[in-house]
């Protein structure tokens, strides 16, 4: 293999996104993952790109807002360079409201959303309508127009193809050259914790299902703690569990049956739709609950990009730019709450 300017360890959404932006900026990039593209948490089914609630504002929420607002153009760029679909569509989200307290809280958040989001997106309370909105005791829902969907597997394949189209390599085996970005998910968090002598993060298991049902261009639903996301390929993903104690990270079990039943209860239109895929995997959750970005402490020329957990796809466009600035140009714009302390 020829020498490269930058090596990325890990071919999930974090690593591929960093590699893509660096390649766009002219760097020769090599991505190495012995398990292949999207083999870890990024190979899941759900693909819900949704904002934090618009209150108690902080740098993490501001970073996420920027990322979600830039996502449409960014993922369109990935599709154009790669020639492959990503499944991205900013179709919004609908959330059920179960009681008067939840309604009052949602109405207060609508006011704060106007102050924070401005005219870039809307958060409002309205009556539920149609078969693709959740059954609620109040008959009311939250609608936001900031949320989007993305098909995780299509998106990772498109990113890998885009890196290759820009002259980069995406391989299962190879030698690191140049600076190294470690984007190796839950296993990487364990390795980092061992190296630093303290826990900086861990894996958390999630399970999800995909149903065969054509929903069309409708908003995703969040209700009873579940994300229900209609995808471009004629499936609807439902997820996910959050399991801190488990024997095997990649095996599905009876918890998916309960998840499926809950989804049908809040969205009866799903009843009878066949299950076409089941997924389980270990997602990287940082102890700080924010992504971990920046220099690997004590290791010159090595960097960490990890801990995306449930919001990795949503943050990817901005994380990729911040990491490219840091690795290629030495420009450090990492939010304080994302730093490895």
pTM, two decimals, is 0.96
Kindly list the distances between the CA atom of residue 182 and the CA atoms of 169, 216, 304, 305, in Å, as whole numbers in the listed order.
16, 37, 5, 6
The tens digit of pLDDT for each residue in 123-162 reads 999 999 999 999 899 999 999 999 999 999 999 999 999 9
Question: CB neighbours of 18 closer than 8 A, spacing ≥ 6?
Answer: 8, 181, 183, 305, 319, 320, 323, 324, 327
Per-residue pLDDT of the chain (341 residues; tens, 9 = 90+): 578 999 999 999 999 999 999 999 999 999 999 999 999 999 999 999 999 999 999 999 999 999 999 999 999 999 999 999 999 999 999 999 999 999 999 999 999 999 999 999 999 999 999 999 998 999 999 999 999 999 999 999 999 999 999 999 999 999 999 999 999 999 999 999 999 999 999 999 999 999 999 999 999 999 999 999 999 999 999 999 999 999 999 999 999 999 999 999 999 999 999 999 999 999 999 999 899 999 999 999 999 999 999 999 999 999 999 999 999 999 999 999 999 87
Beta-strand pair 6-9/48-49? unpaired
Say which CATH class 6-89+148-200+287-338 falls into: alpha beta
CA distance 180 to 1: 16
Judged on CB neighbours under 10 Å (0-12, 13-18, 19+), 169 is: middle
């Amino acid at each position: 293999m020829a020498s490269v300017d930058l090596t990325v360890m890990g071919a999930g959404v974090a690593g591929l996104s960093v590699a893509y932006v660096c390649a766009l900026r002219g760097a020769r990039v090599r991505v190495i993952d012995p398990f292949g593209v999207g083999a870890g948490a990024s190979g899941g089914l759900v693909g819900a790109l949704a904002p934090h609630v618009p209150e108690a504002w902080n740098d993490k929420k501001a970073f996420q807002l920027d990322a979600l607002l830039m996502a449409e153009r960014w993922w369109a760029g990935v599709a154009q360079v790669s020639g492959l679909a990503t499944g991205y569509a900013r179709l919004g989200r609908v959330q059920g409201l179960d009681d008067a307290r939840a309604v009052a809280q949602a109405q207060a958040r609508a006011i704060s959303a106007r102050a924070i989001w401005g005219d870039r997106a809307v958060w409002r309370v309205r009556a539920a309508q149609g078969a693709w909105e959740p059954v609620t005791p109040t008959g009311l829902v939250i609608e936001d127009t900031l949320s989007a969907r993305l098909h995780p597997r299509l998106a990772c394949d498109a990113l890998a193809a885009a890196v290759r189209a820009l002259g980069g390599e995406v391989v299962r085996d190879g030698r690191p050259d140049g600076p190294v970005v470690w984007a190796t998910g839950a296993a990487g968090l364990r390795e980092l914790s061992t190296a630093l002598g303290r826990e900086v993060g861990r894996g958390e298991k999630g399970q999800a299902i995909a149903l065969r049902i054509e929903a069309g261009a409708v908003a995703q639903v969040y209700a009873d703690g579940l994300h229900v996301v209609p995808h471009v390929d004629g499936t609807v993903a439902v997820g996910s569990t959050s399991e801190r104690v488990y024997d095997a990270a990649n095996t599905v079990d009876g918890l998916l049956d309960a998840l499926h039943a809950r989804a049908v209860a809040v969205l009866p239109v799903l009843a009878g739709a066949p299950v076409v895929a089941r997924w389980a995997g270990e997602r990287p959750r940082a102890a700080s609950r924010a992504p971990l970005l920046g220099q690997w402490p004590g290791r010159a020329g090595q960097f960490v990009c990890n801990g995306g957990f449930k919001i990795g796809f949503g943050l990817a466009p901005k994380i990729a730019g911040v990491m490219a600035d840091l690795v290629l140009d030495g420009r450090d714009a990492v939010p304080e709450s994302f730093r490895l302390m």
